[in-house]
Structure 1
């Protein structure tokens, strides 16, 4: 696995994974191509060695390898990430016609950086529910792909304080502009796009009426390598599709001997409190299906390990004082172990030690991050999973800049390095039981 080909594949993945729904669709396609079998949640699952995956709400995915030498009860090597990213979601009644301009009313999803959304070519992607001519309720993923809208900045001449004290009102200042002219019917617009999508996919499905949707704007500028020596990678949704993709590549590299699992859940950016989020029952239900009894389940959890992968804050060259002097991760210096004594991350000394050992086994450098004592600390799905399941958990991530911007930045070497470590993890020859106590 080399970083050049990895980055090429990752950039292609980002271009197609324009919403959590599309991210899961692309991952499912790659899993199917690699021989994984999709399971039906309302049917019994096979209890034999093999490669399987399951989808929840079209936006969360669990894929696992039932090992040939070590089944799930011997311990699962688990990887967790999330499919969602901060964005601007279209509201249910979005049409706004003002001064002859056609606009859409949006809702901010997650902790988005709002300033970078101005003056970007924006498109729409997500899931749409509709009825066909027979009255049957259907659903379909939609991605307009082409630029549809823009949020134009206010000229400096009309806001002389823009560079010193301007704040953004999320209700009034970030309405995307679609064009000029008469009022639009957004659902009719969606119906036209749905019909075109059906035709492109050779689906003989009619579209009678659009009933509802979950659609988010995204920047159409593709991800790209940049820097004097292509040492940087810029793109949308790096947080946290980078971890999803690295985890996917890690699982696909499994030799099948040991049991391993990848879970990519939705709604992390808003607290994970949903049926498809990390606080929901998805992982618990999967593990309980793999363990026939309560005793089996308890043994499975005690013998398992979770690596929660979510990007880390790299030192910003213009704002280096925002980091603890001894814990400022650098781009292209390896994945980061994230620690917090107040349990905002689930890492402890034992789980961190295993990750350091894994990194050393594949000659990958590793870094450490803790937040400054006088700043608040974010969190991840790690503590949520550790609390809900009781599994030993580690929080790691690739360092990045511009987190929660519509265009983020990371080093071009670290994504592949994380995938290499995760590949070593799922194929690790030793059991993942706790280290023995010193004599």
Structure 2
């Protein structure tokens, strides 16, 4: 064996895969991008997985069968396909988490400050806070009404809805407030409040007219009122 054959050289994958394999790679990536765009919360992922499982012959565990699934509170899922060999010969297990770092909405979050409607938040997981400012955001989640009905909320994704965002300082204002700090301190977590509106209701007799305008939008679309936020689970996600 020649000396040069002893050494392994790293090669780009694009130099070794066939055209057919490249097509499959891009097809997989395109499907994955669509999945990520359509499923931004645990609940949405579970709903999609349940639809896929049913399409492949799985049934709810209460119905029995050899291909079953079980949903836990709408946010976790287990699926089982029973084999022909005894359990003593082993099982194949695939496990994955579907929760992600995100920003959650606090109970009764909506308030108005200096003519801007905002929502109070707290972050979940080890987010990089600078990723979440000055970019379009949306709210996804569920609201449990007084009569027990569960209302699905997706707000900020449609072109005819407000563009939601979390503010950041302009460069000339950030010089003293941010530039000298460590990156995890430059944008405090308690400042990650969501801007949801700035156009007030026309009735000047009302107080907090911008907040009321947002409440009216939510009521017109989802039939919810401010008190419903107490029994809501709403997450802030990239739009």
TM-score if structure 2 supplies the norm length? 0.73
The answer for unaligned runs of 5 or more in structure 1 is 196-206, 221-439
Cα distance in structure 2, aligned partners of 1:55 and 1:120: 33
Q: Which residue of 2 aligns with 1:156?
A: 171
SS in 1 for 2:192: coil
Q: Which residue of 1 aligns with 2:192?
A: 174
Q: Which residue of 119, 123, 147 maps to 1:108?
A: 123
Cα distance in structure 2, aligned partners of 1:129 and 1:190: 14
Cα distance in structure 2, aligned partners of 1:66 and 1:57: 24
Contact 1:19 1:84 in 2 (8 A): yes
1:159 CA displacement: 2.4
Contact 2:122 2:192 in 1 (8 A): no
SS in 2 for 1:184: helix
Q: Which residue of 80, 97, 106 maps to 1:64?
A: 80
Cα distance in structure 2, aligned partners of 1:140 and 1:66: 35
* Mapped pair 1:137 → 2:145: no
Rg larger for: 2
State the superposition RMSD in angstroms: 2.4
User: Does the C-alpha gap of structure 1 residues 176 and 140 become closer, same or farther in structure 2, counting only changes over 3 Å?
Assistant: same
RCO higher in structure (CA 8 A, sep ≥6):
1
Contact 2:132 2:166 in 1 (8 A): yes
SS in 2 for 1:159: helix
1:26 CA displacement: 0.7
Contact 1:22 1:141 in 2 (8 A): no
* Mapped pair 1:194 → 2:222: yes
Q: Which residue of 1 aligns with 2:69?
A: 53
The answer for unaligned runs of 5 or more in structure 2 is 1-20, 201-208
For residues 171-202 of structure 1, give each alpha carbon's deviation from its aligned partner in whole angstroms, at most 9, with x where no partner exists: 1x21111121324257665443335xxxxxxx
SS in 2 for 1:104: strand
Cα distance in structure 1, aligned partners of 2:115 and 2:78: 47
* Mapped pair 1:214 → 2:233: yes
TM-score if structure 1 supplies the norm length? 0.42
Cα distance in structure 1, aligned partners of 2:135 and 2:87: 47
In the alignment of these two chains, the number of paired residues is 197
* Mapped pair 1:22 → 2:44: yes
SS in 2 for 1:12: helix
Cα distance in structure 1, aligned partners of 2:42 and 2:28: 21
Cα distance in structure 2, aligned partners of 1:60 and 1:188: 33
* Mapped pair 1:34 → 2:56: yes
User: Does the C-alpha gap of structure 1 residues 54 and 192 become closer, same or farther in structure 2, counting only changes over 3 Å?
Assistant: farther
Cα distance in structure 1, aligned partners of 2:86 and 2:25: 32
